[in-house]
Amino acid sequence: MPKRNAKPAVKAATSKGPEGGSACRVALIGCGTVGRAVAKILGQSGGSSLRLTHICNRNVEKKRKTVLANDVPRDVIWTDDVQAVLNSDVEIVIELIGGLNPAGQIVRSALEAGKSVVTANKQLIARHGSELLQLAGSKGCQIEFGASVAGGVPVLPALRTGLCGDRLHGIAGILNGTCNYILSRIENARIPFSEALEEAQARGYAEADASEDLDGGDARAKLAILALAGLHAQVAPESIRARTIRAVDAVDFDYAAELGCTIRQISRADLKENTLFAEVGPCLVPKDSPFGRVQRNLNLVLTSGQYGGDMAFLGAGAGGDPTAVAVVSDVMSVAQNLSAGRGSGPGKRDVASNVSTTSISTPKISSDFETPWYLRFFVRDQPGIVAQLAQIMAAHHLNIDSLLQKPGFDKASLPFVITLEPCRDAQLHPALEEMSRLDFSIRPCLCLPILR
């Protein structure tokens, strides 16, 4: 059994370690939540053959006070001068600033200078991943981004190594811990969405402006990276439809439970010939399924392959320490490759990145999934409501599977549910448009796919 508090095994790098004089030189740019944890892991791995030489952050003196002196070697250079880091002899640059700029410029400059890059920056990789991979390849260096999806869950490295022998056709995941926290709190405490959001913010699981999380922007950036790494499909995150979780109400969990289900924000991508069916949004999932069992802020990714079938990856999708483990693991992997290439000259290194650029396709993107559907209406009660809804559905050739109405609600704001047999999204939406114009409807219909 591993000893508690044992030093992290940051051992696999280039050669003999600092004493031997040929440790791989590593610079950290961005010393926030993840950066601080990376500095700590690297700093606590005495005798390692990775050597942290620079920590770069704006307002660096203030930042320095947030890092325990014992956590980093005394000879680390603290600086706010990014250019000085890029001009130095570091071999690996860890970018942990986040956002598109200046992070993107820093990453490009590092690669141009022949330095390998490790980043956890999902926005950057989702938008510019294949361009940066090509730049790295052309300079004989690497860019790794294993922490950019699912934080500490090693799903990207698994796609690169353990699953690269399969032909994957589907990836689905719970990729946003904030949404999962909120939805599982509504599920367990039957509290309103607004209360669950406030609670998540108070506990540090949601930002003050949580729109990127709630409305699916964060998850679709991660899904775009998974599609690139696992399905070799290049897709702009904005081209993936994202539906918000804001409209999910506590009553939806009551109705979902009647169907043996719960509700989770699911990101899914299925490659069929040259179309990538992809979307992010709340879905009904069976309560006893892997997705239904994921609670709080955990992440889960399921992959489906032609030969290997289904695989599952579960764990901490965020947090300084778990994410830093993924970052340091990438640094170790790059250092191993540098070590293997040492002596053979530039351009001859083994460039084993998270993604190979050789077979990347640019498929058509569609959100036109065929599934059963859950439609929840809030209406002002009056005679003939179901008849009118049924008439519209019949006109659009939609088959009703069940009708659920719980007693005890105010007739001025009455929730009830209709479930539909499988049909395509494109077939359902014109009917929803028509239904939204009916005068008894007091809220837009909540329309969720049911994933079986």
Ligand X SMILES: NC(=O)c1ccc[n+]([C@@H]2O[C@H](COP(=O)([O-])OP(=O)(O)OC[C@H]3O[C@@H](n4cnc5c(N)ncnc54)[C@H](OP(=O)(O)O)[C@@H]3O)[C@@H](O)[C@H]2O)c1
Query: Which residues are near ligand X by CB under 6 A?
Result: 30-35, 57-59, 63, 96-98, 102, 120-122, 147, 151, 318-319, 323
Residue at shortest CB range from ligand X: 32
Residue 166 CB-density burial (10 A; 0-12 exposed, 13-18 middle, 19+ buried): middle
Closest by CA to 85, choosing from 94, 72, 73, 75, is: 94
Question: How far is the C-alpha of 349 from the C-alpha of 143, rounded, in Å?
Answer: 13
Given a contact cutoff of 8 angstroms between Cβ atoms, the answer to whether 227 and 269 are in contact is: yes
The distance of closest approach from Cβ of residue 97 to ligand X in the complex, given in angstroms and rounded to an integer, is: 4
The distance of closest approach from Cβ of residue 34 to ligand X in the complex, given in angstroms and rounded to an integer, is: 4
The distance of closest approach from Cβ of residue 428 to ligand X in the complex, given in angstroms and rounded to an integer, is: 34
Question: How far is the C-alpha of 46 from the C-alpha of 29, rounded, in Å?
Answer: 21
- 47 Ramachandran zone, left/alpha/beta (phi>0; psi -120 to 50): left
Given a contact cutoff of 8 angstroms between Cβ atoms, the answer to whether 29 and 315 are in contact is: no
- DSSP-assigned states of every residue in 305-318: ETTTEEEEEEEE--
The distance of closest approach from Cβ of residue 207 to ligand X in the complex, given in angstroms and rounded to an integer, is: 10
Nearer to ligand X, 102 or 162 (CB): 102
Question: How far is the C-alpha of 293 from the C-alpha of 274, rounded, in Å?
Answer: 33
DSSP-based three-state secondary structure for 232: coil
End-to-end CA distance of the chain: 39
Nearer to ligand X, 314 or 386 (CB): 314
How many residues does this entry show for the chain? 452
The distance of closest approach from Cβ of residue 133 to ligand X in the complex, given in angstroms and rounded to an integer, is: 17
Of all residues in the chain, what percent are helix, strand and coil, respectively (each to 5)? 35, 25, 40
Amino acid (one-letter) located at 263: I
Nearer to ligand X, 229 or 448 (CB): 229
Encoded tokens for 94: 């860890």
The distance of closest approach from Cβ of residue 10 to ligand X in the complex, given in angstroms and rounded to an integer, is: 19
Cβ contacts of 14 within 8 Å, gap of 6 or more: 22, 23, 24, 49, 335, 336, 338, 339, 342
| Residue burial 219-242, b: 16+ Cβ < 10 Å; e: rest | bbbbbbbbbbbbbbbbbebeebbb
Nearer to ligand X, 5 or 59 (CB): 59
Q: What amino acid positions are annotated as catalytic residues?
A: 222
The distance of closest approach from Cβ of residue 32 to ligand X in the complex, given in angstroms and rounded to an integer, is: 2
Nearer to ligand X, 16 or 58 (CB): 58
Question: How far is the C-alpha of 267 from the C-alpha of 291, rounded, in Å?
Answer: 11
The distance of closest approach from Cβ of residue 284 to ligand X in the complex, given in angstroms and rounded to an integer, is: 28
Closest by CA to 288, choosing from 264, 260, 254, is: 260
Nearer to ligand X, 57 or 357 (CB): 57
Could you tell me the strand order of the sheet in which 50-56 lies?
Answer: 77-79, 50-56, 24-29, 92-95, 116-119, 143-144
Q: What is the maximal distance between C-alpha atoms in the chain?
A: 85
Nearer to ligand X, 242 or 420 (CB): 242
The distance of closest approach from Cβ of residue 435 to ligand X in the complex, given in angstroms and rounded to an integer, is: 39
